[in-house]
Amino acid sequence: MRILVTGGAGFIGRPTVERLVAYGHDVTVLDLVRPAPRPGEVTAVPGASLVVGDVRDEDTLLPAVRGSDVVVHLAAKVGLGVDVDDIVDYVSANDLGTATVLRVAHRVGVGRVVFASSMVVYGEGAYHCPEHGRVAPGPRRLADLEVGVFDPRCPRCDAVLVPAVVTEDAPLDPRNVYAATKVHGEHLLGAWARETSGGAFALRFHNVYGPGMPRNTPYAGVASLFRSALAAGRAPRVFEDGAQRRDFVHVDDVAQAVVAAATADAGPGLVVPLNVGSGTVTTVGGLAQALADTLDGPAPVVTGEFRIGDVRHVTASSDRAAQVLGWTAQIGLRAGLATC
């Protein structure tokens, strides 16, 4: 197949393209390639064509998409951002970028798309109240956070809730700008699929880590931030009490999930959302300690600090990806961290 991968020179894109090429597909990468490569530095994956450009630029995007069987749309501005001043950049890169990809795909007759979504679309994960059963918590209260009560409360009885795993039918409840752009991206994908009879997968990646993850940037994920601190000889700083539940999935497993989706058929007019995680619950503090052990670095420091836009717990079942794509994660956390 001919496959266009936007963001194909990035953290998740590069191992995805490597696998697609290895399986014999004709792959074109469209990427801004930032930071700009040094003279003589190779940025393309061997065997793939590289187009340096922005997905929002239709003059660049159109010839790159033309003739493709599938578009894999990984390009995005990621992370929680620094402050509200980032809002325009996120909306432009993610919402306008996705809209442009979908319009161009329609114009040239490409009817299959794989979209990089995120577990952040759920906001807080699934929760159980001992008295009221499954409930959806509202935003955490600043007064609770300031006194170290980090778990959300039941909206009916005010009891502290017990976390559970999220399935793809859970309501979407974005809690920050990045999350809002990913929800909007899925909605745009749905509109495109209905109006064009195209088929798409929306892959809701969990916390991705592994070799090549971005470092020394406030937009990086928590694994990257901890890794950067340890590389500099500093103790990782863990927010809240470190008991936040997450699912850390290795980038090679994520790349294999993208390949599986790119070579599968979602069905006409359908968008199939799929959680892509390891299936193992890990606390943020546990990740920091595991990284410190792996790198023989200083022990993590639990700070009690918090960010109002963070969610407390979000872990999900990836059983549907196994059923639909035949994909399951293969790399355990300790083995995966050794590759970082």
Residues assigned a catalytic role: 178
DSSP letters for 129-190: ETTTEEE---PPPHHHHHTT--S-B-TTT-PBPEEEEE-TTSPP---SHHHHHHHHHHHHHH
> Dmax over Cα atoms in the chain, in whole Å?
64
Rg (the chain; Cα; Å): 20
CB 236 within 8 A of CB 290: no
Distance from C-alpha of 128 to C-alpha of 256, rounded to nearest angstrom: 33
Per the structure block, which two tokens stand in for 232? Answer: 């500099």
CA 135, 245, 98, 178 dihedral sign is: positive
User: Which conformational region is residue 119 in: left (phi greater than 0), alpha (psi within -120 to 50 degrees), or beta?
Assistant: alpha
Neighbours of 4 (CB within 10 A): 28
Q: Which of 324, 271, 269, 273 is nearest to 169 (CA)?
A: 273
For 26, 248, 304, the CA distances from 325, given in Å and listed in that order, are 21, 20, 40
Distance from C-alpha of 317 to C-alpha of 165, rounded to nearest angstrom: 6
Element (H, E) at 27: strand 26-31
Per the structure block, which two tokens stand in for 162? Answer: 């017990």
Burial of 271 (0-12, 13-18, 19+ CB in 10 A): buried
